[in-house]
Structures are given as C-alpha cells and as structure tokens.
Amino acid sequence: MKGQKRSANDIHATLTDDILHEILLRLPEKSVFSFILVSKRWLRVICSSSFRKDYHARWRINFHLLGFFVCNHLYLGRSKHGIRRPPSERALHLLSTCEEGDNLLVSGIPKQLGYFIDSSNGLLLFGRHPMTYSVWNPITKQLCRLPQPQRYYKSLCIAFFSVTEECFDDIIHYKVIRARCDCRRDEVNTVSIETFSSVTGTWKHYTLTCSSTFALRPWAVATVISGVIYWFATQGNLAIYDPRLGDRRIVLLKLPDGKISQDYDECVLGEAPDGLLQYGQSSTSGMEIWVLEREGNSFSLNVQSQNRWNLRYKLSFKAMWKQNPDCAKNSKEAQILSFIPQNSEYVFIRAGWNIFLFHLKSRRLTLIPYLGRDSSIQWDDSQVMPYFRPSWPRSCLCP
C-alpha cells in the first residue's frame, strides 16, 4: 500500500508545470475545471493567465449569462434641459438570471456609478455621458474611475473592449472610444474620436476620415470583433474602424435589405464562432439574420467588393408562436434582442418583459426566468443588453 502511494507521488512529481500544461490543454473545459481540486499546484496552473490564453486559443471560449441590463437612453444622453429621470425609477436595472447576478445586484456598487453603458470580457462600463465614466471588475472588485475626456461631445457613441494583446499579466486591459455623432445638414466625411487606454491611463484624440460622407448613429454601442470596431451609421450603413492599422480611416458597408424585416424596428450585431460578423434585424412580421463573408483578413476602401452578406436565417414570428404555443400565451410583439457571443445557434428574443432563448435550427423557445423586474421599467424606451462573463476559474495562487 505504501509502495503504491509512493509510486503515485513519484508520478505526480515527474509532471512538471510545462508537462501538466500541455496535458490539460487537450481536455474539455468540464474536465479541466474538475481538476482544480487535485492540489494547489494544479489549481495554480489551471487558473494562470498563460494557461487560460493557450486554452482559449485551442478551444472556443464559453460564456456564462449573469443577467440583462436595462438601459433607458432617454436619460443616458440627456441634455441639460432634457427629460429627467423620476425618483421612482432606478438609474440601474439588472435582471438577474443566476446567483452571481443576484450578488452583483445586492452589492450596491453599480448603483453608485451611474448608468450601464456596455460590458466586455466580464468588465462593466458605467457612467453619465458625456464626461463621466467608470470601469468595474466584479471578480477582482477593482474600480477605475476614468479621467475626464478632453473634448465635449453633445451626441456620441461608444466602443468598449478588452485588449488581449496588451495582457502582460493577469490584469485585463481595455480601451474606451468615444466617437462624436454629428448629424448636421452639411455633409462631412470625418469623425472626431477620443480613445482611453488602461495601459497609459490617458485619453488621446484622433480624427478619422472616410471616402464618403456619413454620420454615426447617436448613443449606439459598438460591436468589437478581433479588434475591429463596428458602429451603426445613418443611411443604412455600417461604419468599420480598425485601430490596429494605424491609418485612421473608416470604411462604410451597406447593411442588407430584408424581405420580411424590411421596415425593421430592431437591429443587432454579434460574433459568429468562426469570427465573422453576424447581423440581425426584426420587424413586427419576423426577423432575418445574415453573416458577413469576407475574402481578406481586414477591411479596405473597396470593402463593398471584397465582402458580401449571406442570408443565414429567416423567421416569421407568427410561425414561431404557432410552433411554441406554451410561450405564446403571454406573448406580446416580439423583437430580436441579442446574439450570444461566438454562437450561431441561438439568439435572444424579447416580447414585452418576457425574454426567450431561441434555437434557430429547431425553432424552439425557452423562457428565461430572471429577478429584478419592476413597474418603473419603460420597456418601449429601453434597450435590454445581456451581461456575460467568460467561464474560467480564478485564484489568488495564480502568478
């Protein structure tokens, strides 16, 4: 018996951190997470930033839904003499879907930071446009109040994203980009932006140029995929900006015209598992989803010729309710809500205060239970945004 125990210890001792690292990389996520109980050493290896980075490079990242933030844009970009939020209505609404969301809700910290703006890689961006912003990490409880921007934008849109190439340690670095929305009658082909980097701790101003006249859609939040920023623009266009190229240019791409969703009320962007851009829009009749197929690795001035929209899915809401009679009894007018990160199989659909997870292949609806709904939420004037956190363990033993 003692010999067997000694032999097991000898085998464990021969497993260096590098060998253990390579073995664990070949296992599915569920198995890897179960091995954190083997020893403190295994916990340290699995929770390390180097292993997490290598594992995500090999396997697809899984995301855990904590809830939905409800954003009323009547107040988010309110002018000095604009509509004021009544005292009876909370500034921050979180519809919690799990225990972690409940803990976030009762912590009270987000309520002190203003309105929810966006999230990225588990980080939360709060603030009061156009000059006050904070980033909070619910895992580490670290709060960063950003310095005041250098320029005042009466109307703007935001991009918020983590910067993986600048993660030299276990700290998640990020950038916040404020872009001016100038919907004037005179035509312009430039846009003023300010970029904040958590690495430098400062804002920097740039002027982006486009080959055509355009204007960004006010108070919209960008979708960021592999460092490329996608903003909704006016005239049915998508504005694309890649800050890594360094040429400070924006290119425009025409959004597709739907058939059943031509007069759309809601439109969303998301990332497919293969890294391509997904676009969905819905009207009272139904919804349609496209994917942007591209030939190159980046966008250029001839983006229209190098990229094309492929219709991936089309759905009639009437047929959807007919196929899901249990969900239809309390249904109201439906609309597409959001994609799931790096997922092409499901989308979120909202009907009134009900939120559903819809499986595109089987056309099955699943009602998502949540806590936090109250009568003060103005659903017609609000945008509901899911909050995901990457499902990966963390430990103080990590280097």
pLDDT in tens, 4-25: 555 555 556 677 888 888 888 8
Q: What pLDDT does residue 355 have?
A: 94
CA-closest candidate to residue 32, choices 46, 51, 14, 18: 46
Using CA atoms, how far apart are residues 359 and 388, in angstroms rounded to an integer?
18
Q: What pLDDT does residue 299 have?
A: 47
Sign of CA dihedral 103, 106, 110, 116: positive
Using CA atoms, how far apart are residues 343 and 330, in angstroms rounded to an integer?
27
Q: What pLDDT does residue 129 have?
A: 81
pLDDT in tens, 37-78: 788 888 888 888 788 778 767 776 778 899 999 887 666 655
pLDDT band (50, 70, 90) for residue 199: very high
Using CA atoms, how far apart are residues 266 and 134, in angstroms rounded to an integer?
28
Tell me how crowded residue 194 is: count the other CB atoms within 10 A of its CB. Answer: 18
Using CA atoms, how far apart are residues 357 and 343, in angstroms rounded to an integer?
12
Percent share of the chain, pLDDT over 70: 83
CA-closest candidate to residue 270, choices 216, 210, 336, 334: 336
Lowest mean pLDDT among 294-298, 370-374, 381-385: 294-298
CA-closest candidate to residue 130, choices 70, 213, 203, 69: 203
Rg (CA), the chain: 23
Q: What pLDDT does residue 29 have?
A: 77
Percent share of the chain, pLDDT over 90: 44
Q: What pLDDT does residue 186 have?
A: 62
pLDDT in tens, 336-359: 999 998 888 999 999 989 999 999
pLDDT band (50, 70, 90) for residue 33: confident
Sign of CA dihedral 94, 99, 102, 103: negative
Using CA atoms, how far apart are residues 50 and 24, in angstroms rounded to an integer?
13
Q: What pLDDT does residue 166 have?
A: 45
Relative to beta strand 174-180, strand 156-162 is: antiparallel
Task: Determine the average pLDDT of the residues in 251-257.
Answer: 93
Strand partners, 135: 125, 144
- What is the pLDDT of the chain when averaged over all its residues? 83
Q: What pLDDT does residue 41 have?
A: 84
State yes or no: pLDDT of 79 exceeds 80: no
CA-closest candidate to residue 226, choices 287, 271, 278, 187: 271
The amino acid occupying position 4 is Q
pLDDT in tens, 86-129: 665 666 788 999 988 888 878 777 777 888 999 998 899 998 88
Two structure tokens written together for 293: 């197929």
CA-closest candidate to residue 47, choices 24, 69, 78, 19: 24
Runs of H (alpha helix) within the chain: 2-14, 17-24, 29-34, 40-47, 49-58, 73-76, 99-107, 303-306, 317-323, 325-328
State yes or no: pLDDT of 201 exceeds 90: yes
State yes or no: pLDDT of 82 exceeds 70: no
Q: What pLDDT does residue 145 have?
A: 94
pLDDT in tens, 122-176: 899 998 888 899 999 988 888 999 999 999 998 899 999 987 654 445 578 999 9
State yes or no: pLDDT of 378 exceeds 90: no
Two structure tokens written together for 179: 């872009």
CA-closest candidate to residue 226, choices 307, 341, 312: 341
State yes or no: pLDDT of 185 exceeds 90: no
